[in-house]
Amino acid sequence: MKKNNLVRISTLLMALFLIFTIVPAMGAQSDENYDVSAKKALEHADAHVAYFSAIGALEFEDWKDADIDPQPVEFYDIDGKKLHYLFSVYDSKQLIGRIEVNANKTLGYPVQAFEFDPRPFDQNKAMEKSIEIANDKYPSGEIQSTRMVVYSYPKFGAMSLVIDKATGNKHRVIVDAYSLELIPDKEPTENEPGIWSVYDSISEDKAGENVAKWDSSSEVIELMQQPYTDAQKDLPRIGSKELDVPLYGQEESYYCAPATAQMIAKYYGVTHTQDYIFGIMDGDTGGCTNSEQLTYYKASNGLDKDGSYHDDTPDFNDVVSEINNERPLKSAVTGHARACIGYQDYGIRYISINDPWPVNSGSNRLEIWGNVVNHIFVKD
């Protein structure tokens, strides 16, 4: 990384404002090639780390003298398109973080997420397991490809595509990168996890807006890379806050909601096991619906926050309000519950997430705003 890259903040913030508020609408993008090279992705990762380090953003104190591995792991969507580059961040050869950069402009703003003190995974072992299961499950099939995929954002694993030699039918064999468990090839429901395509979730109009965001971000990168000579302490901050919420990994593949509730409960000084919380939620091996999750948050034998409610219209300003009022909240992406514990708004809007996945460890992420599908506000 460029260790001394500070930024011309006022100009940069104006550029960021333009990206996120005055992006022109564009038409369909299906006939264009909006792929992003690993080299270009690295430029974005490098510039963003330099920027966040310069302004003293939360979580980046230990990244000032770190190095980004220029060789990322390439992740694909389950539909076969390249999705993300995952760059590892090292300090004295120790893995301290990862940076997720979009591999296609239609996915939106370049840097999707940062992960802090991540649990390592073995890419080769995951791919070998996928191949092993594919061969056992479809002995008459032919494996066309095996790749690392994001099967249910942000969850990832290895996927083998198998073609039946007799019928020509295609089969997908996906294993989780950490547990190496086989992931059922089915769509998620409100209370059951599954696999889904990030690309399929983006409308043509949204893809056009995303391309415009990416193209406009090139100006931001140039500004981020300009030297700035004033002391770092003089750089202004727009806003950030993070609550002291413990991170717990989910103890079962379908325990993301109980693990999320366990984190929030512990923040309020309440200690419940995930089994106990799951029992009150009364879910099943597919997971827990939003109404079942609310049962725990509101019940007198649960967290006893009877003002809690579910909201399907997530708004960043609501996150800011809750965190500023010292209230963590449940923040879900499709098929997966997480705890939102903070936000950062330095002209780029990110939310701080305690994610209960991977199983038995969890992860702490700073994620670009725009992926959330619903919230549960936990209130008295």
User: In the CATH hierarchy, which fold is given to the domain comprising 240-377?
Assistant: Cathepsin B; Chain A (3.90.70)
| pLDDT attached to residue 285 | 85
Tell me how far apart the alpha carbons of residues 35 and 38 are, in angstroms, rounded to a whole number.
10
Give the contacts of 160 (CB within 8 A, at least 6 positions apart): 127, 130, 131, 133, 134, 143, 145, 146, 172, 173
CB 118 within 8 A of CB 363: yes
| Single-letter amino acid, residue 51 | Y
Q: How far is it between the farthest Cα atoms of the chain?
A: 69
Tell me how far apart the alpha carbons of residues 148 and 295 are, in angstroms, rounded to a whole number.
37
Please report, in tens digits, the pLDDT of each residue of the chain (380 residues total): 444 443 344 444 444 444 444 444 444 444 468 999 999 999 999 988 888 887 777 788 889 889 999 999 999 999 999 999 999 999 989 999 999 999 999 999 899 999 999 999 999 999 999 999 999 999 989 999 999 999 999 999 999 999 988 888 999 999 999 999 999 999 877 667 789 999 999 999 999 999 988 887 776 666 666 665 443 344 445 588 999 999 999 999 999 999 999 999 999 999 999 999 999 999 888 889 999 999 999 999 999 999 999 999 999 999 999 999 999 999 999 989 999 999 998 778 899 999 999 999 999 999 999 999 999 999 99
Distances (CA, A) of 319 to 41, 91, 190, 238: 29, 32, 22, 15
CB 65 within 8 A of CB 91: yes
Tell me how far apart the alpha carbons of residues 290 and 341 are, in angstroms, rounded to a whole number.
19
Distances (CA, A) of 99 to 171, 176, 280, 322: 31, 20, 37, 27
The residue written with tokens 């202004």 in the block is 236
- In the DSSP assignment, the letter for residue 50 is H
Distances (CA, A) of 380 to 52, 293, 359: 35, 16, 30
Distances (CA, A) of 313 to 264, 305, 354: 21, 21, 21
- Angle at which helices 38-54 and 204-224 cross, to 10°: 60
Domain boundaries, the chain: 9-119+204-234, 123-183, 240-377
CB atoms inside a 10 Å sphere around CB 230: 10
Give the contacts of 228 (CB within 8 A, at least 6 positions apart): 6, 7, 8, 9, 54
Phi-psi region of 56 (alpha: psi -120 to 50; beta: other; left: phi over 0): left
| Single-letter amino acid, residue 95 | L
Burial label, 33 (beta-carbon count in 10 A; 0-12, 13-18, 19+): exposed
CB 257 within 8 A of CB 337: yes
Structure tokens at 10: 């006022």
| pLDDT attached to residue 225 | 62
Tell me how far apart the alpha carbons of residues 124 and 146 are, in angstroms, rounded to a whole number.
10
The answer to whether the predicted template modeling score (pTM) of the entire model surpasses 0.95 is no
Tell me how far apart the alpha carbons of residues 27 and 9 are, in angstroms, rounded to a whole number.
32
| pLDDT attached to residue 22 | 42
| pLDDT attached to residue 377 | 98
Question: Pairing between strand 73-77 and 82-91?
Answer: antiparallel
The residue written with tokens 């079942």 in the block is 292
